Amino acid sequence: MQINIDILLAWGAAYKKVAAGEIIFHEGTESSFYYQLVSGKVRWVNINDQGKEFIQTIIEPEECFGEFPLFDDEPFAASAIADEDSVIIRLHRSSFHQLLRENPELHFEFTRLLTQRLRFKFLILKELANHNPEGSISTLLNYFKQTQKNICTKCNRLKLTRQQIADMTGLRVETVIRTMKFMQSKGDLQITKGKVYC
């Protein structure tokens, strides 16, 4: 989901550069802006008391993130961290709300986006409950292929590291590596020079 940048600028949005590793917002803090990624990559994560990350999703250019508080007035449900030098565009929440009031079709687009993100969470939680690493990884990879997210559309190369897959599924990275090798032996995926192809 993206809002046309010219529309955002017309409503008073501004660009902001963020460096790799920079925290854009923290889980539990209040939201003042609508955020949309222009370039770079951002991970949306929860971090436990031991500092372990659980990746909720990886944001790619033209996607919005951190939108929950704009609809329920609650704090951020996760933190957003730039994976690489990135450019975001931000629109103040009051302007964002007015933009939606005057453009109801955008509101329907956000309803669709929130539903897709919720459906993805149901999918992942169902797999986590099964305690089946191969099932969890297969479900995740199939979802990415279906949505054309985190996969190169030209060559079917997975754009995520094995650590990121582990952080998305709650598995240990060693389990992900071992399971992906097993999946390769069955012909479910290809691994060439360390790159995974679905």
In sequence order, which residues have a C-beta less than 8 Å from that of residue 125 and are 6 or more positions away?
Answer: none
d(CA 141, CA 94): 38
In 3D space, the residue among 61, 37, 54, 49 whose CA is nearest the CA of residue 124 turns out to be: 54
CATH classification at residue 139: 1.10.10.10
Q: What global pTM score does this model have?
A: 0.76
- Number of H helices and number of E strands within the chain? 7, 10
CATH code of the domain containing 62? 2.60.120.10
Residue 124 lies in a domain: no
178 occurs within a structural domain: yes
- In this structure, the answer to whether residues 18 and 96 fall within a common structural domain is yes
pLDDT tens series, the chain, 198 aa: 689 999 999 999 999 999 999 999 999 999 999 999 999 999 999 998 888 888 888 999 999 999 989 999 999 999 999 999 999 999 999 999 999 999 999 988 888 888 888 888 888 778 777 788 998 898 888 888 888 888 887 888 888 889 989 988 888 899 999 999 999 999 888 898 888 888
